[in-house]
């Protein structure tokens, strides 16, 4: 399950980001941006996250996931558009010279720590 690897990565990054001078930190919310093409199953990720955060500062943290649409840009006329599935032809100039500019990212945008 590739969500487990992602969950582990998220925990690692978050733990590194928690300021060291906070005693007994507790993360309440983790805000994420996940591209549609990153093929992350949200409930699998939440499930894995809950398992591996037991007895860590991230235990019971809530994952708030913003889904990022797939965006394509035409290399010829610079037109940008959103698609549900990658479509590799520009609707304007019909060129096939396109690049994907978003849709695969998995980013942590912010975290919220509980007040003591």
List residues near Zn ion by CB under 5 A: 74, 76-77, 79, 90, 92-93
Choose between 87 and 93: whose C-beta lies nearer to Zn ion.
93
Closest separation in Å from C-beta 102 to Zn ion: 18
Q: Record the tokens describing residue 29, joined without a space.
A: 């919310």
Closest separation in Å from C-beta 95 to Zn ion: 5
Choose between 6 and 72: whose C-beta lies nearer to Zn ion.
72
Closest separation in Å from C-beta 104 to Zn ion: 21
Q: Record the tokens describing residue 71, joined without a space.
A: 């965006």
Q: Which residues contact 105 (CB under 8 A, 6 or more apart)?
A: 33, 34, 35, 38, 68
Choose between 27 and 74: whose C-beta lies nearer to Zn ion.
74
Collapsing DSSP to helix, strand or coil, 18 comes out as: coil
Contact 106, 36 (CB under 8 A): no
């Amino acid at each position: 399950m590739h969500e487990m690897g992602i969950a582990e990565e998220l925990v690692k990054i978050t733990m590194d980001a928690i300021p060291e001078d906070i005693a007994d930190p507790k993360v309440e919310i983790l805000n994420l941006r996940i591209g549609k093409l990153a093929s992350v199953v949200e409930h699998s990720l939440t499930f894995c996250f809950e398992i591996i955060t037991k007895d860590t500062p991230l235990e019971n943290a809530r994952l708030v996931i913003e889904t990022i649409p797939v965006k394509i840009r035409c290399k010829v006329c610079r037109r940008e558009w959103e698609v549900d599935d990658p479509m590799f032809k520009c609707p304007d100039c019909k060129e096939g010279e396109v690049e994907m500019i978003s849709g695969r990212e998995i980013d942590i945008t912010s975290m919220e720590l509980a007040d003591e």
